[in-house]
Amino acid sequence: MENWYLKIILFRGILKTYILSSKADRSSYPGYLAQHSLFSQIPSLRADILTLDYCYTTPPPAPPDLRMHSLEGPIINAWFGPAGTVSPLHTDPYTNILCQVL
């Protein structure tokens, strides 16, 4: 993933360049949307997602140096990209669930 880089573009640019374009080179490093409050920008998209009861369970506590404050509800994020999208290896400071929608 040494060719990974950050680029800020409009959402319609992501759709046009990386998702809908027949010329998009999907064999190399596809672009994707991450670290963005997508549901604040497109609230109707959030309405399409159900929050599972499992999100309200109490997982084992994190190590003391990784603990976060208590939340009133789950944090819901979205990553948006074409088939074959790969995210750089990373860790998160809290327990989470990843769901892929195809």
DSSP codes of every residue in 3-49:
T-------HHHHIIIIIS-TT--TTS----B-SS-HHHH-HHHHTT-
Alpha carbon 31 to its chain's center: 12
Give the model's pLDDT for residue 101: 72
For residue 80, which phi and psi values (nearest 5 degrees)?
-130, 125
pTM: 0.55
Give the model's pLDDT for residue 89: 80
Domain of residue 89: give its range: 1-102
Look at residue 68 and tell me whether its pLDDT is greater than 70.
no
Q: Is the separation of the CB atoms in 96 and 47 below 8 Å? A: no
**Tell me: the pLDDT tens digits for 24-60?**
555 555 677 777 778 888 888 888 888 888 777 777 7
Structural domains of the chain, count? 1
Query: Is the CA virtual torsion 60, 65, 66, 68 positive or negative?
Result: positive
Give the model's pLDDT for residue 92: 77
